[in-house]
Amino acid sequence: MTSLVLTHAKFQTLELFRIPIAVVGSAFWPAASMLAFVVPFAGDDPVGATYATASMITFAIMNTNLFQYGIGVSEDRAQPWDPFVRTLAAGATPRFLGRILTGLLMMVVSLAPVVLIAALFTEATLSPLAFLAAVPVCAAIAVPFILMGLSIGYALPQKAALVVAQILFLPLAFGGGLLTPPGGAPGFIEDLAPFLPTGGAVRLMWTTVTDFPFDPTATLALAGWTVLFGALAVWAHRRDEGRRFG
């Protein structure tokens, strides 16, 4: 099983890197936001730069997983050989897990420029212990967005999945407070943000790398979204299987 998963991950990764714009696009928005907004406006403030970097890391995680799985899975489903792959003895599991590994790699690619820009061009500070704690937190907050992407990818055809992903990512980023410092968004956004998946995710990041207080309401909401997206992903996958194989 492991060799099959790695084989699928290898070929999916090669397929992505054969289209450089797909790789560049994953990292563009978070890096561009860092350069356009964080560096000039908060770069000299250690606290503000650290908060902003955590927000952009959350933005990158959301953006990468939403598009990687939402559009990637729908593209796979459109391929004529996709039903054949599902009938092989190994089943669809190795290919699915290979896509998860590829998605995690792309997430690292999208996070690297944000971290480098913060380190080189801002006064953001982070202790070694906080950095180590941030790694599993990044993995944890990626889960709801992976499941959201899978829900879109299995439920919608390719063109519709692209449109839905594009419609969702900016309102989720703004509504979750990723584009403003803590307390800097309009009042209704501040009230709404803890109940959105992006708001819960960024608050966990802020708590991990700054002295931002832990928000149990936002964390519970994030857990609820994770369960909901997981249920939707399972439902969409089963519906797709039923339509294809009756």
Mean pLDDT (whole number) for 191-214? 95
Q: Which two tokens stand for residue 106?
A: 């792309």
Instruction: Indicate if the pLDDT at residue 246 is higher than 60.
Output: no
Contact between residue 13 and residue 100 where contact means Cβ atoms under 8 Å apart? no
Higher pLDDT, 44 or 22: 44
Mean pLDDT (whole number) for 59-78? 86
Query: So what's the pLDDT on residue 215?
Result: 94
DSSP string, 164-208: HHHHHHHHHHHHTTTTS-TT-S-HHHHHHGGGSHHHHHHHHHHHH
Percent of the chain with pLDDT over 90: 45
Q: Which of 222, 214, 206, 213 is nearest to 141 (CA)?
A: 222
Instruction: Indicate if the pLDDT at residue 23 is higher than 80.
Output: no
Instruction: Indicate if the pLDDT at residue 41 is higher than 80.
Output: yes
Query: So what's the pLDDT on residue 97?
Result: 77
Band the pLDDT of 105: cuts 50, 70, 90: confident
Query: So what's the pLDDT on residue 69?
Result: 85
Band the pLDDT of 144: cuts 50, 70, 90: very high
Query: So what's the pLDDT on residue 4?
Result: 81
Query: So what's the pLDDT on residue 210?
Result: 93
Query: So what's the pLDDT on residue 121?
Result: 93
Exposed, middle or buried by CB within 10 Å (0-12, 13-18, 19+), for 121? middle
Higher pLDDT, 40 or 220: 220
Q: Which two tokens stand for residue 189?
A: 């956004």
Q: How far apart are CA 132 and CA 234, in angstroms?
A: 32
Query: So what's the pLDDT on residue 245?
Result: 58
Mean pLDDT (whole number) for 160-167? 91
Long-range contacts of 87-93 (CB under 8 A, 24+ apart): 90/1, 90/4, 93/1
* Mean of all residue pLDDT scores within the chain: 86
Q: How far apart are CA 125 and CA 145, in angstroms?
A: 27
Query: So what's the pLDDT on residue 244?
Result: 63
Contact between residue 191 and residue 113 where contact means Cβ atoms under 8 Å apart? no
Query: So what's the pLDDT on residue 96?
Result: 73
Q: How far apart are CA 156 and CA 13, in angstroms?
A: 23
Instruction: Indicate if the pLDDT at residue 8 is higher than 60.
Output: yes
DSSP string, 106-169: HHHHHHHHHHHHHHHHS-----HHHHHHHHHHHHHHHHHHHHHHHHHHHHS-HHHHHHHHHHHH
Band the pLDDT of 238: cuts 50, 70, 90: confident
Contact between residue 201 and residue 218 where contact means Cβ atoms under 8 Å apart? no
